[in-house]
Amino acid sequence: MEVEVFGNVDVYPPSGKYQLIVKQIRPAGIGALLLQLEELKRRLAAEGLFDTDRKQDLPRYPHTIGVVTSPIGAAVRDILKVLRGRWPGVRIVLAPVKVQGEGAAAEIAAAIERFDRWGGADVLIVGRGGGSIEDLWAFNEEVVVRAIAAARTPIISAVGHEVDTTLADFAADRRAATPSNAAEIAVRDSNAVRREIVDTVRRMGLSLRHRVRNLRAQLQSLLKQHGFRRVKDVFNTFRQRTDEFRQRLDEAIHDRLAHERDRLTRARGTYAFREALPRRLADARTTLDRTRTALDDAIVTQVQDRRRAALALADRLRALSPRQVLERGYALVKGPDGRFVRSASTLTPGTTVTLEFASGEADATVTNLREGGTDGTQPKRRR
Amino acid sequence: MARSRSDAAEGTPPDFETSMKRLETIVEELEGGELSLEDSIKRYEEGMKLSRHLTTVLDESEKRIERLVERADGPTTEPMESGGPEDNGTLF
């Protein structure tokens, strides 16, 4: 057995050895237990049983609360009192268990598992009242911690007092300081909720009244604006407005007619001009074409006439040519001076003349002269 | 959320939380002023109905405490033998 010893250390003078004056001896159990607890905590934490992301949200308005605790003692009384005080209509289902001593941990774990299997509780409160560390030990047992971690029903742990922390608290979705506190966490104060509802109803009424008031104000300003405050006003305004409308309508029609007439006139002018221009252009083009054709014809005719005239002239010129005469058997006579002989009187016998035929020449000598010509002309009178 | 068979027999009103949230939404809509007058009145009427329902739930009287027991066909509940901790100090 391990023990813890408390006392004073002293030296025994004759031998010079140390001696211990013991004042208190106690078992070393708690220290060993705490070491064991630390080891288990480390192991379960490594498994992720205490992870924050495993925590479930508690329902805001639970209908049924499951309670796992001892049926005897202050804890269950506190829980029931607070639950009913805050929310009288809440349904409470109790799973009475041993919370300390032999078999307590197994009972607690089994009750949690049973509630979870039943599925009727919206939230569980698991815990007990204050006590020594040994008294609370069941809530450090692995089987309890695992049952809490495995449950699908959200769990509030409530073990001992504020200062007491067990592994069950680490595994629970929410840790309460005390059993009463667990009940406070589990349900809202119905009076506060009632006040909220009353306040909401009041706010709804205010909003609606405000809305109606605004609409009424709008309507009134609308009525005022149109002079609809009284029936008489209504008729007067109506007649006035009708007259005004009629007058405005007449004016509008008049203006409109004048405007349209104006537009028509203008449009007509524009139309005539637009229509005439192409026609004139077309006419001009036709005239131009016709003129051009006529001109061409005239030129052709003239050219042809000229050509004919030229040809006729050429014929006549050809006829006038002395060579042409020679073709018909005539001959030209040239004197010694090389000039054509027109009269025999210019010649004397013995003169050599040159006879020019259509083809070739011949020299001849004058042998005899006779007066007068065969054509009856007098050679003397001729030059 | 799961409900036991006995819940249905007692005629438990539908989800309190949903009704509360709906009521909050309605008051926000009304205060937002975006609704037409007709819709505002509809919302107001719905809100009044919800508030009456919620108040009824709040007014429910205390229920007897039940005990969770294991039966052959699984866990179920039964009324506690005594009237409660206030009546019977020996049980609690």
Residue A171 has pLDDT above 90, yes or no: yes
Q: For residue B73, give the 3-state DSSP assignment.
A: coil
Assign A118 a pLDDT band (cuts: 50, 70, 90): very high
Residue A376 has pLDDT above 70, yes or no: no
Residues 66 through 85 of chain B touching chain A, CB cutoff 8 Å? 66-68, 70, 74-77, 80, 84-85
Residue A108 has pLDDT above 90, yes or no: yes
- Asked if the Cβ–Cβ distance from B66 to A122 is below 8 Å, we say no
Residue A4's pLDDT is 78
Residue B3 has pLDDT above 70, yes or no: no
Name the amino acid, one letter, at A341.
Answer: V
Mean pLDDT of chain A: 84
Segments of B19-71 assigned E as strands? 66-71
Q: For residue A96, give the 3-state DSSP assignment.
A: strand
| Per-residue tokens: A309 | 């005239």
Residue B6's pLDDT is 41
Handedness of CA A169, A171, A176, A179 (dihedral sign): negative
**H or E stretch at A84:** helix A74-86
| Cβ neighbours of B4 in A, within 8 Å | 64, 118-120
Residue A166 has pLDDT above 70, yes or no: yes
pTM over 0.90, yes/no: no
Q: Which residue has the tokens 């039940």?
A: B66
What is the distance between the alpha carbons of residues A336 and A322, in angstroms, rounded to a whole number? 20
Residue B10's pLDDT is 45
Nearest-Cα distance to chain B for A51, in Å, is 24
Q: Is A95 on the interface with B (CB under 8 A)?
A: yes
Residue A383 has pLDDT above 50, yes or no: no
- Which of B1, B2, B30 is facing A204, going by the closest CB pair? B30
Residue A377 has pLDDT above 60, yes or no: no
Residue A237 has pLDDT above 70, yes or no: no
Give CA separation, A77 vs A189, A382, B7, in Å: 18, 188, 24
Which of A75-79, A182-186, B87-91 comes out lowest in average pLDDT?
B87-91
Residue A382's pLDDT is 41
| Per-residue tokens: A20 | 């211990």
Instruction: Answer with the residue of higher pLDDT: A264 or B17.
Output: B17
A295-328 per-position pLDDT tens digit: 777 777 777 777 787 777 777 776 666 666 777 7
Residues 191 through 230 of chain A touching chain B, CB cutoff 8 Å? 193-194, 196-198, 200-201, 203-205, 207-208, 211-212, 215
Q: Are the CB atoms for A30 and A135 separated by under 8 Å?
A: no
Q: Are the CB atoms for A37 and A139 separated by under 8 Å?
A: no
